[in-house]
Structure 1
Amino acid sequence: MPAPSLTAAWRPVDTGDDTVAVAERAAIGTTARVAVWPPDNLPAALAATDRVLDDLDRQASRFREDSQISWLHRRNGGLFLLSDGLAEAVRVALAAARWTGGLVDPTVGDALISLGYDRDFAAIDAAGPEPAGPPAPVPGWQSVWLDGPMLRLPAGVRLDLGATAKALGSDRAVRAAMAATARRGGVLVSLGGDLAVDGEPPIDGWPILVADEPDPGASARTQSVRLLGGAVATSSITCRQWRRAGRVVHHIVDPRTGLPADGPWRTVSAAGATCADANAAATAAIVAGHQAEEWLARARVPARLVSRDGEVRHVGGWPDADGCPVTVRPHSHVYDGASRP
C-alpha cells in the first residue's frame, strides 16, 4: 500500500506495521506524534491536529507575546471575556486544581519565572550561572474566578497552564482527528508522551511504551502496556531540568513552597479517561511526594511510579507485566470534551 502523503513538517515513522500509519513533528515545545488506522486516514488526522495545536499555542502559551494569555498578563488583573478555547483551557486547569486539592495549580507562573523558566525551554541556558530568584508566592487557584467565558484575574497573578494544556491538546486533537476521518478506524495523538486515543483500537489495543528516561533506549526502566481507550500521561523531573548557580532545578513546582517538588519520585505515569485527567494525576503525584501512592489509590488512578533511586511501584491497578492492558474508569474529573476550541 503506498504511504499517504503528509502535510508540511510531518515526518513518517516506520513502525514495521503497514496497517497503521504514524507521523511526528516538533510542536509547542515538544514532539507531536499521530498514529491512525486505516493508513489513508493520516493526512486528514494530521491537518486536524495542526489546527488544534496552532489554536492552543495562540491561546495558552506564556512564551508567545501574541498569545491570548500573554495579553491577559500584560493587563495585570481585571475582568476579561475569553475566547471559547482559552476559557476551556483555564477551566480544565482549575478543575485539575480542585480535583488534586491544589497539588496542581495554574497560578505558579511567577514561581516558574523566578526559577528561570521565563522563556521557551529550548532557549534556557541549561548551565545558567545566575542564581534562581527567591521563591515566589503562589496565590492559589481559588483566587481565580471563571464563569463560562468570564474570567476575573487578580492583579499580580500570572497563570501557567503547562500542567494541563499539553494534555488538553492531546484530548482536543484526538477528537478533532476522529471527526476529520468520519470516525472510521482509530487515532492516537501524543504530545511529548502525553497521549490520548479515540475510535476503535487495533487488535489487543494501542501498544504504549512507558519510559523513565527521555530516551527509552537509555534505561531498562521501561514497560510496554496496551491501551484500549482513554489516555496515559507521564510527568517527570528529569526531562526539563536546568541549573541556577550550580543547583539543579526543574519545572514541576510545589504550589505549597513555590520551589521545585523535592519528593521521592522522579517519574510518574498515570492513566485516565482523558489525557487531562492522566496528566493532572501524574503531576499531582510528583508534588504529593510520600503521600502520592495513597492519593492515587484513593482516587482509583492506575499509575506507575519510579523513585529517584530507580525503584518501580504500581498502584491503582496498573499492570505489573509487559503487554497487559491498562484499564481506566470512564469518568473524567477534569475534561468532558464537550467544548470546542
Structure 2
Amino acid sequence: MTGVAAGTTTASRSWSVWGCAAELSVTEPGTIEHAERIVRAELAAVDAACSRFRPDSELSMLARAGGRPTSISPTLHAFLEAALSAARLTGGDVDPTVGSALVHLGYDRDFADLGPTVPPCDEIESAISRTGFITESDWSMVTLGEDHVTIPDGVGLDLGATAKALTADRCARAVHDELGTGVLVSLGGDIATSGPYPDDGWRIEVCDGEGEPSTVVVIGSDTGVATSSTLRRRWMHEGQMLHHILDPQLARPAEPFWRTVTVIASSALTANTVSTACIVRGPAATAWLDRIGLPARSVAADGTIIHSGHWPDDGEDRS
C-alpha cells in the first residue's frame, strides 16, 4: 500500500471505489470540491467502459461479442491501447487477456464482494460454459482499430494491471488542466501528480501493511508511483490461497518471490506496468530494473530490501 501525507497547504478528500481507497489532494484548498467532482466523473466513465464486474460495461459486452468486431468508445480505446502497450513493453508479462483465467480461479467480482470461499458468479460462469475457456490466450490475439476492437470468442479481458494507474494519471491531468491547482490522485496506492507541488514536495509513505518495512519518498510534479504486491487481493480457491497477479504463461498467480515492488516513473501507468512485470519476473526483475534505470524498491519474500535506480528514500526502511 502506498499513501500520501498531505501538507499544511493542501486540502484532501478520500472515499472508497473499486474495492480500494481513492485519495485526492490539491495545493489550492478552495478547489477541492470541484476537483473531487472531476475525479468522480472520470471514475464513473472508466467504470462504465472498463469494469469486468458490471454486466452493462463495454468490457463485459466485448465478452459477449462472439469474436465479432465491436465498436468502442474513446475511453475504452485509450485503456485498451494502454494495456496492449504495457504487454509490448514487458514482453507479455503484463497481459490483458488473463480475464478468463482470473474468473476460472474465482476472482469473478469486485474484490470488496469477494469472500474467502464465495461461489462463482452465475452469469459469468454460464458465459464461460457457453463460450469455452481459452487458457492459451495472449495479447497478440487482440486487434485494436481506430474505433473498434476484435477479441477471439472465449478470451476474457482484464485491465486491472493498467486501468487503475491510467485512471490516476487521467484524473490528475484533468484536475490540473481545468483548475490550475497542483494535484495528487491515489487509487489503491497507484499515485499520479500534476501541476505545482507543496513546498516540501508530495511525501509518499511506502508500506504494505502493519509489520511490513516502510519508508517515505518525496516526489514532485508529473510523477507516478505504484506498488504491486503479492500480499494484497488474496482469496481462497479450491483450498489454495491465491493472489491477483497472474503469470500469463501459466494462467496462475506468479510465484511470490517478491512481497512488494514499488516503482517511480513519469506516470502511474508506467510505474504500475513495471512493478507488475517485476512480480511476474521474480528474481530476474532485479537485472531488468537495473537495465531500464527506474527507481524501484523491491521487498523479497524473506524481507530483504533491494533498491534500484537511485531510489530517493528519506533514510533506512523501518518495520
Other structure's SS at 1:313 match: strand
Q: Within 5 Å, which residues of 2 pair with 1:118-267?
A: 118-127=108-117, 137-181=135-179, 183=180, 185-213=181-209, 218-229=210-221, 230-267=223-260
Other structure's SS at 1:163 match: coil
Cα deviation for residue 59 of structure 1 reads 0.4
In the superposition, the TM-score normalised over structure 1's length comes to 0.84
Distance 1:16 1:150 in 2: 41
CA contact (8 A) 1:302 1:317 kept: yes
Match of 2:52 in 1: 62
Distance 2:170 2:235 in 1: 30
The correspondence for 2:289, drawn from 290, 293, 296, is 296
Cα deviation for residue 219 of structure 1 reads 2.2
Q: Within 5 Å, which residues of 2 pair with 1:58-137?
A: 58-127=48-117, 137=135
Q: Deviations over 1:171-221 (max 9, x none)?
A: 11001111231x2x31000000100000011113200001122xxxx1250
Cα deviation for residue 146 of structure 1 reads 1.0
Other structure's SS at 2:64 match: helix
The letter of the residue matching 1:100 is T
The question of 1:41 aligning with 2:31 is answered yes
Other structure's SS at 2:96 match: coil
Match of 1:52 in 2: 42
The letter of the residue matching 2:95 is D
CA distance 1:123–1:151, shift in 2 (3 Å)? same
The question of 1:306 aligning with 2:299 is answered yes
Q: Deviations over 1:24-75 (max 9, x none)?
A: 0111221100000111111111010011000000000000011111111111
Distance 1:136 1:318 in 2: 40
Instruction: Name the stretch that deviates more: 16-25 or 80-89.
Output: 16-25
CA contact (8 A) 2:14 2:22 kept: yes
Distance 1:231 1:129 in 2: 36
Other structure's SS at 1:108 match: helix
CA distance 1:78–1:114, shift in 2 (3 Å)? same
Cα deviation for residue 247 of structure 1 reads 1.2
CA distance 1:16–1:298, shift in 2 (3 Å)? closer
Q: Deviations over 1:130-184 (max 9, x none)?
A: 9xx9x96241101111122221211111100000000011011001111231x2x
CA distance 1:155–1:127, shift in 2 (3 Å)? closer
Identity of aligned residues (%): 42
The letter of the residue matching 1:126 is P
Distance 2:315 2:22 in 1: 25
CA contact (8 A) 2:18 2:110 kept: no
Distance 1:278 1:138 in 2: 27
CA distance 1:201–1:112, shift in 2 (3 Å)? same
In the superposition, the TM-score normalised over structure 2's length comes to 0.90
The letter of the residue matching 1:243 is M
The letter of the residue matching 2:261 is V
Structure 2 unmatched runs, 5+: 121-127
Cα deviation for residue 320 of structure 1 reads 5.0
Other structure's SS at 2:193 match: strand
Cα deviation for residue 263 of structure 1 reads 4.0
Instruction: Name the stretch that deviates more: 45-54 or 71-80.
Output: 71-80
Other structure's SS at 1:63 match: coil
Match of 1:339 in 2: none
CA contact (8 A) 1:301 1:316 kept: yes
Number of corresponding residues: 302
Q: Deviations over 1:254-278 (max 9, x none)?
A: 0010000004101111111111100
Match of 1:281 in 2: 274
Runs (4 or more) in structure 1 with deviation over 6 Å come to none
CA distance 1:202–1:291, shift in 2 (3 Å)? same
CA distance 1:314–1:73, shift in 2 (3 Å)? same
